Structure 1
Amino acid sequence: MSTRKPTAKKKKAAPAPPMTLELRDDGVAVVTIDVPGEKQNTLKEDFAPVFEDILAEIDASDARAVIVTSGKESGFLAGADITMLRGRDNAAEVQAISERGQAAFNRLSGLRIPTVAAIHGPCLGGGLELALACTARVISDDPRTVLGLPEVQLGLLPGAGGTQRLPRLVGIAAALDLLLTGKQVRARKARSLGLVDEAVPHANLMRAATAQALRLAERADEHVHPLNRLGEFFREVASADGARDLVLEDNTLGRRILFQQARKQLLARTRGNYPAPERILDAVEVGIEQGFEDGLKVEARFFGELAVSPEAEQLMGIFFATQELKKGSGIGRKKINPNPVHQVGILGAGLMGAGIAMVTLDKADTPVRLKDRDHDGLGRGLATIHKYFDRKRKRRILSKAEAARQLHRVTGTTDFSGFSRCDLVIEAVFEDLELKHRILRDVEAHTPDTTIFGSNTSSIPITKIAEASSRPHNVIGLHYFSPVEKMPLLEIIRTKDTAEKVVATCVHFGRQQGKTVIVVGDGVGFYTSRILSPYMNEAARILAEGASVDAVDGALTRYGFPVGPITLLDEVGIDVGEKVGRIMIDAFGERMEPPAIMARLVEDDRKGRKNGRGFYTYDGKDKSVDPSIYALLGTDGDRNPDPTDIAERCTLLMVNEAVRCLEEKVLQNPRDGDIGAIFGLGFPPFRGGPFRFIDAMGADRVVARLEGFAAEHGDRFAPAELLLQHAASAKPFHKD
C-alpha cells in the first residue's frame, strides 16, 4: 500500500494594507491612503490600528514633516464606511468606534513634526476630520475637490474630533454653518473660510504640499517648544493668516448669545424632528466652554447615542437604498448595457425645458438642441441657461472658459433642424394630449428610428402618448421635478411596449444628469403624482371642514414636510391641482375625488402664486394668508383640529396609496417607493419614506388608524389589501 505525501497548502497572500508609508530623502514622510479593492477610500474598522502603527514608525524615524495623501484618482477620503454601523443597537459599542478614531487623529495632531494633508477630490466626513488633525491642508482647485462634514444628513455627528477641531480652525459661526447643514465647499470657499491653506492646480498638488511641509518644518526648527505643545504651535502657524477677531466669539457672553441664536434658528428649521443637529450644537458648545478633552468625550457619547436612534436608522436606510439603486439598470436584476447619448433635443424652452437643458449640459456634459415655438420663448429659455452658467462662473465653480464652452454647446431653433443628430428627445410642453401627439409625430418625422422619445408629463399615461407613435418601443416617460437643477429625483415611466434597452439608456443618462432615478410602471399619475393627490385633497378637505390655512400647513411642517400642502398647492397652481384631480377621479373613482372647494377657487380665478391670488396673498417676497379665502370656503377658519390628526389624515392617505402602487406593480419594490416620496415629494426623511414609515409604526397600527379615520370620515381611508396582508402576517416591507 503506497502512501502519498500531503500536498503543502499554499499560503494566502496577506491582504494589502489600507495605507503605505514612504520615507523620502528630503525628510518628508508620505502616507498614502489606498484602500484595496475599493473605488474610493473610506475609513473602515481596521483603519485606526494600521494608521497608529504608521504614525509610530514616523515618530521613530528622522522625518522632519509628514504628508498624508490618497493613492486614488477618485478622491482623498469619502468618510467612514457606515456599513459598520448597520444593525448595531448598542450605543456603547458605537461610542468605542468613535473613541478609536479620536485617538488615532489625536496621535496625528500630537506628532512632534508638522503634518500636511494633500487633498484632491472628495474629502468628506472622517476624511476631513483627518485633514483637520493635520497642521495644514493643501487642496487641488479642481471642481471635483469638495470638503464637508455630511454626517448630520445621516442622523449622526462627526465622531473623530470634527466638532472640536473645526470651530477652532474657522470660528464657531462658520463651523456651525458647515456642521449643521452638511454642506460641501470647493476650493475658493474653503480658502476664504481658512479651512485650507493653499489651493493649487492638481498637477502641482504634491509639489505644493512638500513646500508647505518643509516650510513648516523650518519654522519649527527656529523655536524650542515643549513637545506637548508642538501640535498647538503648528496649528497656530498654519492658520495665522486666517485668524479671526469675531466679537461674539471672543467672550463668554457673546458666545452664549451666539449659541442661543443658533439653537433658536435650528429648532425653527428642524422643529425638533432631528436630534443630530442639536447634539452637534451641544458638542461644539461643551468643547468651546469646557475644553477640547471634554468636547471629545461628549462627541463620542453623542455619536454612540445617535447611531442607534430611530432617526439615524431611517436616514442611513435611505442612504443605503440610494447606493443600492445606483447599481441597477432599472430592469430588475437584468444587466443591460445602455446606448450612448451624444446629443439631446429638448422641446419647450420654459422653466422645465431650460432646467433639463442645464443638467444635461452641466452634469451629463452632453450638447443640447433646444426648440420652442417662437423666438421670444426660445430667447427666454436660452437666457435662463446663460444665467445659470454665469452664476457658476461668478462663484468660481466653473472657469470663464468652461462656462463659455457649455454655452456654446446649446443651440436654439424654432423648427426641427438639427434633430436628426439627437439620440434622445425630451418634450417639456403643456399637459395636453393632442399637443403631445402632434409633437411626437413631428419628432419621429425628423429623427432616426433609433431616437428615444421621452415625455416629461406628470400625469398623462405614457401608453396614451405612445398611441401616436410608429415606434412605441422607443417612447418612455421622463418625469423631472421643478426646479430641475435642484430637485434630485427623476421618475422614469416604462410602458409594456418600452424596450428594455431604452429603459437602461435613460436610467444611465439620468444618473449622468446627477439624478436619483427610479423606474415605475405606467398609469395615471405614475407613482409620485398619484400618491400626492390624496394627500393634497385631504388637506383641502380639512380646510373645508373649518380649519385655518395656518393650522393645516403648520401641522404638516411640524410633522416633517418641508412645506405645508396648502402652500404647495399655491406653488403648483390651484388650477393645475384641480385639473389633475379630475384626471385622478376618472381613473381611480371616489377615493381620489377632490373637495368641491377646488372648483370654486378656480372659478374665482385663484391660481396661486403665479397670478398672485391663492390661499395666500403675495407682496414681493412676503406672503400671508388671504383672509377673504374663508368666505369663499364657507367657513370661519376657526376650528382647531388636533395637529396630529391633521398630519396623519393627510400622510396616511399618501402611505396607503403607495402600498396600492406596490400591489399593482406600479412600483418594483418598497425601496423605490421610499426614495420617490422623499426625493420627489419631500416626505419627511427621518420617517424613512412610506414603507419604512409603516415598518416603524407597525402595519397593524397603520391599519387600525386608517380604519378609525374611515369610520369617521369615509371609505377613502379603507386600507389597501396588501397593507391588510402585512398587518395580518406582521411581515415588514423591508427585510433589513
Structure 2
Amino acid sequence: MSRAASDVSGAGLTVATLPGTLLLEDSTVGLSLRVHEGIALIAYDQPGSPVNTLNSRVGPVFEQFFLRIEQDAAIVAAVLVSGKTDSWIAGADIEELQRITAPVDGERLSRSGQLLLDRLAALRKPVIAAIHGAALGGGLEVALACHHRIITDHAKTVLALPEVQLGLIPGAGGTQRLPRTVGLQVALDLILTGKNVRARKALPMGLVHELVHPAILLDVAMQRARQLAHGDRSAVRERRPGLVERALEENSVGRAIIFRKARESVTKKTGGHYPAPFAALDVIERGYRESFAAGLLEEAKRFGELAVSPECRQLAYLFFATTSLKKDTGLPAGQNVAPRAVHKLGVLGAGFMGAGITAVAVQAGTVVRLKDGTVERLASGFKAVRDVVRERLVKRQITRVQFDDTMSLVGGTVDYRGFANVDLVIEAVFEDLDVKHQVLREVEETTPAAIFASNTSTIPIRDIARAAKRPEQVLGMHFFSPVHRMPLLEVIVTPETSAETTATAVAYGKQLGKTVIVVQDGAGFYVNRILAPYLNECGRMVDEGASIEDIDKALVQFGFPVGPFTLLDEVGLDIAGKSGPIMEAAFGPRMQPSATLRAVIASGRLGRKARKGFYRYDADGKRQGVDDSIYAMTPVGARRRTLPVEEIQQRAVLPLLNEAVRCLDEGIIRSPRDGDIGAVFGIGFPPFRGGPFRLLDTMGLANVVAQLDALHARFPGRFEVAKLLRARADRQQPFHP
C-alpha cells in the first residue's frame, strides 16, 4: 500500500504524504505535480479554503502541468486528486463570476475553461480522476474531460452540474460532454435540475467507471493509470445504451421528441421565469444538430448572457446569503459562546410535525425519544418516520444496513421514561397554550438540564415561557412542513433566552441540515407574520368577487410555487384557523382574516387532508378543481368578477413586502439577508426575485411607496406604508447597498 493510501480513512487524501518526486508546485493556488513510478500525481489543495474551486488563476497552472505531462517521456499517465477531506472540486469561484459585468466577459471566461478541458481531454496519456467528496459544476466538468473516473463509495461523494440553480449553465463543456457520456435523457435530467448524483447511482448510469472504498482510492487509481497507459482496458466498465435509448437518441426524430418534451416540462416547472434551463436545451440541441465544437461556441455565448442576467444575480445573492448563514452562530457579533452538544433529543408529539422532526434528527445521527399519549399515536408516528427514511433507501441513497441503523435510533414512550438524559426537547403538541404549559412543566420536572424548544408556528414564546422555572432555557424552533423537505428553521428567542441556549439551537439546526435564521419573539415570528397579510388580502379579493382559481393562477405567474388557496389547503385550514385570531389580536384590523376565510374555516373544512377545502379532492388526494359551493359563503354570493392579474399580484405581494419591512424595523429579523432567506426558504417566495428586500430594491422604494399609498387610499387600514420603508425611500437608501 502506498504511503498516501495508508493515510486515508474515508476522509480524503493527505497531499503532504503523496508519494513521488515533486516536479512542479504553485503554493499560491495549491497545485502540485509529483511523479511516482511513471505516474504523475496532480494534487489540488486550495489554500485558505475548505473546498477547491476553479478560477482564472488556477487555469494557467493546470495548463503548465498538462504540458509537462505530455512532454515528459518518464510520465506515462496521470492521476488527479484532491487534498480536501470531503471535497474534490466544488466548481467555479462564484465571487469571480459575480465580477462579470458584460456578456463578452462571461463568454471569454467560458471559452478559456472549454479550451483548458479540451487540452485535458486531448492528452495522449490517460488521466484518471480519483474522486473523493463533492465534484460539482466545473469540478464534474474536469472529471468528464478525464479519461477514466473512479469515485469513492462514501456519503460525501456526490456529483452534479448545479449551475441552473444559480441561473447559469455549465460553461466548460459540460453541456456537450455529459450527454455523450451518460446519454441525452439522463444528461437533460441532471443539467436541467442540477440534482446531486450519489456514488452508487453514478456507476450504473455510466457517469463514472469504478466505485471503490476510500482507503484504496489512490492505489486503484494508480494501478488503473498503469493499465490504461499500456492499452489494457480490461478493467474499464463501458456504458451500453439500452434499446429504447438507442431508438430515441440515435436519430434526429427521436431527439426532437426528447427536446420537445423537455421544454414542455421546464415550462411547466418554472413558469418561464428561469432562462437558464431553456438556454441549456438550446445549447445541447445545437451540439447534437451540428457538432461538438458548435455546441461549445453556443455554450460560451449563452453562459456570458446568463452571467449578467437579473435572475443569475438574485440566485447568486441567495447562494452567498445561505453560505454566510452557515457561519452564523445566531449570536450578536463578538459574543462567543460554545453551543452544547445534542446527543439525545426528546420529541413531544408523534403527529405529522413531531414525526418529521424525529425523521430528520435520526438521519443526522441523533438518538431520539419520541413521546405521545397513546401507543396507537406512537405507532402512527413510527410509521411516518420509517416512510421518510425508507424513501432514501428506495432511492439508493442509503443501504439496508444504514436504514436499520437509522431506525434503531428511535425509541418511543407514552410517559417520560428515557427523558432524564436528553439534551434538547422539542414539543410539537397541539397548538394550545394550556397544553404547551403543561408539557413544559412536565419536561422541567423530568429533564432538569434540557433546553426546551417549542415548534409553535404563531404563539409567542414569551407566553409559553411564562410557565417555565428556567425561562433562559426556553426558545422556539419553528420547522416547516414537510420537515424533511423544507430547508428553513426559525429559531425564536426571547429577551430571557440565554446565549448558550440560542447557540445550541442554531448549531443543532445546522446539524439537521437546515438553513437557520434567528428571529425575535412575536406573534407569527417572521415567516408566518409576513404570510398572513398576503393570505388575508387574497381572501378579501374573493370577498369582492374574484375567483379562487384566478388568484392562485396570478400568484403562480408571479413566481410562487403554488397559489395562496392551494397553500391553505396543503397546510390545513384548521391550522390557519388557529393562527388567524392570534395574529389579529396582536396586530389589529390589518391582520383580520377575510370574511370568506373565516366562513370556510367555520364550516369545518380541513383542506386536502380531509379531501375538502377551497378545492375538491378525490379519494387519493388528487385535486379536482375549485369547490364552487365556497362562493355562497362570500359576502357577494356566487357572483364573480375578473380582476386584472397585475392588481391581484400587487394587492397580494405589497402587504407581504410592507410587513417584512416592519419586522426589520421592530428587530424581529436581524437583517434584510435573514428576511430574504426566510421568505424564500420558508414560504417559497420566488427565488429569481431574491426575496422581499431584494425585490423592494429592484422595484425602487419610491415606486413601492407610491403604490402602497394609492392602495391605502382605496382600502384604508391595510396598506399603510411602514415607517422604515418611507424613510428609506425618502433618503433613497436601498436595503442592499
Where on the TM-score scale, by shorter chain, does this alignment land: which range? over 0.9
Match of 1:67 in 2: 79
Q: In 2, Cα distance between the equivalents of 1:313 and 1:117?
A: 32
Pair 1:288–1:499, CA change in 2 (3 A):
same
Q: In 2, Cα distance between the equivalents of 1:423 and 1:205?
A: 39
Match of 1:568 in 2: 567
Report the alpha carbon displacement of residue 374 of structure 1 after superposing the two structures with TM: 0.8
Report the alpha carbon displacement of residue 173 of structure 1 after superposing the two structures with TM: 1.1
Match of 2:142 in 1: 130
Match of 2:649 in 1: 647
Contact 2:205 2:239 in 1 (8 A): no
Contact 1:607 1:614 in 2 (8 A): yes
Q: In 1, Cα distance between the equivalents of 2:99 and 2:669?
A: 26
Q: In 1, Cα distance between the equivalents of 2:288 and 2:446?
A: 66
Contact 2:33 2:42 in 1 (8 A): yes
One-letter amino acid matched to 1:343: K
Report the alpha carbon displacement of residue 240 of structure 1 after superposing the two structures with TM: 4.7
The answer as to 2:728 corresponding to 1:729 is no
- Identify the match of residue 185 of structure 2 among 165, 173, 191: 173
Report the alpha carbon displacement of residue 538 of structure 1 after superposing the two structures with TM: 1.0
Q: In 2, Cα distance between the equivalents of 1:391 and 1:15?
A: 44
Contact 2:608 2:621 in 1 (8 A): no
Report the alpha carbon displacement of residue 254 of structure 1 after superposing the two structures with TM: 1.7
- Identify the match of residue 59 of structure 2 among 48, 54, 57: 48
Report the alpha carbon displacement of residue 352 of structure 1 after superposing the two structures with TM: 0.8
Match of 1:455 in 2: 454
SS class of match (1:193)? coil
Contact 2:26 2:61 in 1 (8 A): no
Report the alpha carbon displacement of residue 471 of structure 1 after superposing the two structures with TM: 0.5
Q: In 2, Cα distance between the equivalents of 1:171 and 1:458?
A: 46
The answer as to 2:516 corresponding to 1:505 is no
Pairs within 5 Å for 1:108-187 = 108-187=120-199
Pairs within 5 Å for 1:151-230 = 151-219=163-231
Pair 1:38–1:243, CA change in 2 (3 A):
farther
Q: In 2, Cα distance between the equivalents of 1:14 and 1:342?
A: 43
Q: TM-score, normalised by structure 1?
A: 0.93
Contact 1:574 1:608 in 2 (8 A): yes
Report the alpha carbon displacement of residue 618 of structure 1 after superposing the two structures with TM: 0.5
The answer as to 2:540 corresponding to 1:541 is yes
Q: Which moved more, 1:290-299 or 1:213-222?
A: 213-222
Match of 2:12 in 1: none
Pair 1:221–1:190, CA change in 2 (3 A):
closer
Q: In 2, Cα distance between the equivalents of 1:284 and 1:291?
A: 10
Report the alpha carbon displacement of residue 82 of structure 1 after superposing the two structures with TM: 0.4
Per-residue deviation, residues 127-162 of structure 1 (Å, max 9, x unmatched)? 000001111211111111100011110111111111
Contact 2:29 2:57 in 1 (8 A): no
Q: In 1, Cα distance between the equivalents of 2:460 and 2:555?
A: 30
One-letter amino acid matched to 1:445: E
SS class of match (1:477)? strand
Pairs within 5 Å for 1:266-305 = 266-305=266-305
Contact 2:345 2:366 in 1 (8 A): yes
Contact 2:227 2:233 in 1 (8 A): no
Contact 1:102 1:159 in 2 (8 A): yes
Match of 1:490 in 2: 489
Pairs within 5 Å for 1:161-560 = 161-219=173-231, 239-241=238-240, 245-333=245-333, 334-363=335-364, 365-448=365-448, 450-560=449-559
Report the alpha carbon displacement of residue 266 of structure 1 after superposing the two structures with TM: 0.8
Contact 1:125 1:148 in 2 (8 A): yes
Pairs within 5 Å for 1:679-694 = 679-694=681-696
Q: In 1, Cα distance between the equivalents of 2:28 and 2:597?
A: 65
Report the alpha carbon displacement of residue 42 of structure 1 after superposing the two structures with TM: 1.1
One-letter amino acid matched to 1:265: S
Pair 1:730–1:239, CA change in 2 (3 A):
farther
Contact 1:479 1:492 in 2 (8 A): yes
Contact 1:578 1:594 in 2 (8 A): no
Report the alpha carbon displacement of residue 15 of structure 1 after superposing the two structures with TM: 4.1
Match of 1:91 in 2: 103
Match of 1:632 in 2: 633
One-letter amino acid matched to 2:659: E
- Identify the match of residue 703 of structure 2 among 695, 701, 704: 701
Q: Which moved more, 1:371-380 or 1:383-392?
A: 383-392
Report the alpha carbon displacement of residue 581 of structure 1 after superposing the two structures with TM: 1.5
Contact 1:543 1:637 in 2 (8 A): no
Report the alpha carbon displacement of residue 98 of structure 1 after superposing the two structures with TM: 1.1
SS class of match (1:420)? coil
Contact 1:548 1:637 in 2 (8 A): no
Pair 1:639–1:215, CA change in 2 (3 A):
farther
Q: Which moved more, 1:172-181 or 1:599-608?
A: 599-608
Match of 2:21 in 1: none
SS class of match (2:580)? helix
One-letter amino acid matched to 1:599: R
Report the alpha carbon displacement of residue 44 of structure 1 after superposing the two structures with TM: 2.1
Report the alpha carbon displacement of residue 580 of structure 1 after superposing the two structures with TM: 1.4
Q: In 2, Cα distance between the equivalents of 1:435 and 1:189?
A: 46
Report the alpha carbon displacement of residue 339 of structure 1 after superposing the two structures with TM: 1.4
Identity %: 48
Q: In 2, Cα distance between the equivalents of 1:408 and 1:261?
A: 43
Q: In 1, Cα distance between the equivalents of 2:441 and 2:131?
A: 52
Pairs within 5 Å for 1:600-615 = 600-615=599-614
Q: In 2, Cα distance between the equivalents of 1:135 and 1:381?
A: 49
Q: Which moved more, 1:36-45 or 1:706-715?
A: 706-715
Match of 2:17 in 1: none
One-letter amino acid matched to 2:145: A
Structure 2: runs of 5 or more not aligned:
1-24
Contact 1:194 1:242 in 2 (8 A): no
Report the alpha carbon displacement of residue 87 of structure 1 after superposing the two structures with TM: 4.3
Q: In 2, Cα distance between the equivalents of 1:17 and 1:605?
A: 64
Report the alpha carbon displacement of residue 703 of structure 1 after superposing the two structures with TM: 0.8
Equivalent residues, number: 707
Q: In 1, Cα distance between the equivalents of 2:394 and 2:632?
A: 49
Per-residue deviation, residues 651-679 of structure 1 (Å, max 9, x unmatched)? 11111000000011101111000000000
Report the alpha carbon displacement of residue 644 of structure 1 after superposing the two structures with TM: 1.8
Contact 2:26 2:32 in 1 (8 A): no
Per-residue deviation, residues 542-574 of structure 1 (Å, max 9, x unmatched)? 122212222111101111000100100111222
Structure 1: runs of 5 or more not aligned:
1-12, 223-233
Pair 1:202–1:71, CA change in 2 (3 A):
same
Q: In 2, Cα distance between the equivalents of 1:240 and 1:607?
A: 51
Q: TM-score, normalised by structure 2?
A: 0.93
Contact 1:330 1:507 in 2 (8 A): yes
SS class of match (1:387)? helix
Contact 1:135 1:238 in 2 (8 A): no
Q: In 1, Cα distance between the equivalents of 2:606 and 2:253?
A: 49
The answer as to 2:37 corresponding to 1:39 is no
Q: In 2, Cα distance between the equivalents of 1:87 and 1:460?
A: 44
Report the alpha carbon displacement of residue 460 of structure 1 after superposing the two structures with TM: 0.3
Q: In 1, Cα distance between the equivalents of 2:440 and 2:568?
A: 30
One-letter amino acid matched to 1:469: A
